[in-house]
Structure 1
Amino acid sequence: MPEASVWRTSPNLALNQLVAERRAAGDDVVHLGFGESRLPAFAPLAERLARGAGRNAYGPVAGGDDVRRAAAGYFSRRNMPTEADQIVVGPGSKPLLMALQHVLPGDVLLPRPAWNSYAPQARLAGKKAYGVPIPAVCGGIPDPAAVRDVVRDARAAGGDPRIVVLTLPDNPTGTLAPPALVREICAVAEELDLVIVSDEIYRDIVHDPATPFLSPAEVVPHRTVVTNGLSKTLALGGWRVGVCRFPGNSWGREVRDGVISVASEVWSTLAGPMQEVAAHAFSEPPEIRQRLAASARLHGIVARAVHRIMVDAGAICRPPTGGFYVYPDFEPLRAHLASRAVTGSGSLQRHLFDTYGVMVLAGHHLGDDEDALRFKAATSMLYGDTAEQQEQSLAADDPLALPHVAHVLARVEETFTELCR
């Protein structure tokens, strides 16, 4: 049995609940601590949800033929030829990632920092998680040279690292690893016989459509499992739709069957109405493609605006290129912040919330050093408080000029100007 200390609520979900409670009490809180795409559900998808209400039978554990064919087409259009029998759908990519932890043998290598659920999922599955520093250029991929060192040392000490998790684009840094780096980590995976789990939940939120995207499934398809979903790209986090693509070889079929076995005992099948939604979304008719492009554009504009605020305040920060996050480092202001009793990521998070009403997610929750002055800021919650405002943000030529967006960005800028003055 896991020790009692394992049982704690995921920090991003706990912070989101705290913000909701504070807002319900009348407090004015700027929420940068939760990675939700705060946009309304797209009307054509809501119509599909209603149309799917009659799908009230359990159905196949892996998902119906229609949704698996649609997902196979989605991956095939992204240079990963896929058949329907390589697909399993589930209630979000998160439980699919958890199922993989139960099925794949060996311990886990993670970028450091990384999304805050990877390491707890590994521990809940009885595995050890090894954090490997990210390279200077981007997050989402552990430095390939450092992976060699960590694996060598771990195996010499009796450890068994066999899985490496990648995030493309990255949560928390908001960056996309370039193709050369993807190829390099794939070569290391081949050399060390590592399975790659590529979390591509932000795949369709690359800010510049001309930016090249290379999935490890294009380089080493025989050892790469890909997860994705609709939570981020189409703002359907509460609907819980995820998809997993397995290699088409015998090993991939074995892993797929293991995930189906876990699914059969945990969630049985993706809810029928959500399969209706997913089949339509993954088939990507023109209106879905247009919605994806508009959303990616908005996410990029606002993320770059918040990045500028952080850099102007004195932080070091990688420019965001995908997703909707920035990951600033306030190390250059350590002496100044120490005068305010801010000496690490936890005290920085508390100070921002208690003093300014701005919530961020401290870096130590993401595997970073506790004494580092780094945090994740999610920029996707800044598009307005109502569905009408959010749709205006999505449609605007210049969303930063909209009063509701300009106001909250001014609040963020005032906070960090004051913090660092």
Structure 2
Amino acid sequence: MHSTKSTYVSKMVSELKPSGIRKFFDLAAGMDGVISLGVGEPDFVTSWHVREAAIASLEQGYTSYTANAGLLELREEIANYMKTQFKVEYSPDTEIIVTVGASSAIDIAMRTILDPGDEVIVIEPCFVSYTPMVTLAGGVAVTVQALKENDFKIQPNQLKAVITGKTKAIMLCSPNNPTGTMLNTEELQAIADLAIEYDLLIIADEIYAELVYDEEYTSMAAIEGMQERTILVSGFSKSFAMTGWRLGFVCAPPEISEAMLKIHQYALMCASTTAQYGALEALRNGRPDVDEMVKSYRRRRNYIVQSLNEIGLTCHAPGGAFYAFPSIESTGLTSQEFAEQLLLKEGVAVVPGDVFGESGEGHIRCSYASSLEQLQEAVKRMKYFIDSL
């Protein structure tokens, strides 16, 4: 039998680093009694009426493909939702595609707009898949670091400094994973001004748009002059607690949408029919569920931010999402050392900040999408760990 040549794997793929988040999940999975603050998903089960609608669709035999762009009635509901919640109007026929999670929406967006060598500005700390997705689409990710002294809000002059003739787009996530930082209308406007001045696109990951706690959310597409240059990515995973359903959507100008649909047709065909019927019910009747979850997250956020500060880990109050991003610099440990030792000694899983980019070093990501009881126990164990240092 011939040995497998390593050259069978493309150079680009073999050079991709595996997700830094997975490593800690895998380590924690083999241990008993671990409290995980690592997972980026709601601890709520999808509401019963949504599950029931999906089951009913199966019982009624709705098991064939939908249109490539998704069920028309679901796209109509998404258009209605975007108008009602975020004051942006999209055509269900030409500007909305239902995708397999928000991740596939970002993937087809990158592949649609990038030619080899085109640059995308990626603001770190950020979700671990942004840079690899740019690379896999043949582009070049140019990373720029949002700093803790600015509460992890990117400054326009930082963006301006890295714009070149090859820059095609800025990748933006607000509220942000991992920091929870949310940009207000004024801060979005400053980025929009740059996009207009340099004729750039914005890929706006707005998956956490519903999970905001202190001020009203502004969508990048709602900023004047930005709808025609924004590819807006969202979905049902976070706000409707539907992570395992793998259902997202992307809204974009017709020309871009039509091009994205080509890739979606060839690569994915369409999203799961059953999941689409569930999402339809979530949009029509799930508002009270979202409001309840947000109320619960707000309580947990207030608890964990206060508690982390009390045990000596400086933490800013995140405006959205369900992550706290405290500094662990006072312990003298690196993010990796802190996360590993905390897991092994006290059985608490957190994600080291450096996996989200170099400005994440010195921090850890703690998800507060866990019950209050679990958060209290986790904080107790973290205090014990810090004191032992």
1:7-406 equivalences under 5 Å are 7-22=16-31, 27-53=32-58, 54-77=61-84, 78-85=86-93, 86-105=95-114, 106-134=118-146, 136-139=149-152, 142-152=154-164, 155=165, 160-208=166-214, 211-219=215-223, 220-246=226-252, 252-283=253-284, 285=285, 288-331=286-329, 333=330, 337-338=331-332, 342=333, 344-369=334-359, 372-380=361-369, 382-383=370-371, 405-406=372-373
TM-score (norm 2): 0.90
Q: Shift of residue 3 of structure 1?
A: 3.5
Contact 1:300 1:321 in 2 (8 A): no
Is 1:412 aligned to 2:379, yes or no?
yes
Q: Shift of residue 241 of structure 1?
A: 0.9
Q: Which consecutive residues of structure 2, in runs of 5 or more, have no partner in the other structure?
A: 1-9
Alpha-carbon distance in structure 2 between the residues aligned to 1:114 and 1:69: 31
Per-residue CA distance 1:136-168 (angstroms, 9 max, x = gap)? 4544x632110001115xx4xxxx221111112
Alpha-carbon distance in structure 1 between the residues aligned to 2:280 and 2:13: 40
Equivalence for 1:390: none
Contact 2:328 2:335 in 1 (8 A): no
Equivalence for 2:6: none
Contact 1:327 1:376 in 2 (8 A): yes
Single out whichever of 317-326 and 5-14 deviates more from structure 2. Answer: 5-14
Alpha-carbon distance in structure 2 between the residues aligned to 1:204 and 1:59: 27
The amino acid of 1:76's aligned partner reads K
Q: Which consecutive residues of structure 1, in runs of 5 or more, have no partner in the other structure?
A: 247-251, 384-404
Q: Shift of residue 96 of structure 1?
A: 0.9
Equivalence for 1:391: none
Contact 2:322 2:367 in 1 (8 A): yes
The amino acid of 1:414's aligned partner reads R
Q: Shift of residue 216 of structure 1?
A: 1.2
Contact 2:348 2:381 in 1 (8 A): no
SS in structure 1 of the partner of residue 249 of structure 2: strand
Contact 1:138 1:177 in 2 (8 A): no
The amino acid of 2:365's aligned partner reads K
Identical-residue share of aligned pairs (%): 23
The amino acid of 1:83's aligned partner reads S
Aligned residues: 369
Contact 1:6 1:124 in 2 (8 A): no
Contact 2:328 2:364 in 1 (8 A): no
The amino acid of 1:125's aligned partner reads A
Give the superposed CA RMSD. Answer: 1.9
SS in structure 2 of the partner of residue 81 of structure 1: coil
Change in Cα spacing, 1:62 to 1:224, as seen in structure 2 (3 Å) is: same
SS in structure 2 of the partner of residue 12 of structure 1: helix
Alpha-carbon distance in structure 1 between the residues aligned to 2:231 and 2:13: 31
The amino acid of 1:183's aligned partner reads Q
Q: Shift of residue 379 of structure 1?
A: 1.1
Q: Shift of residue 126 of structure 1?
A: 2.0
TM-score (norm 1): 0.83
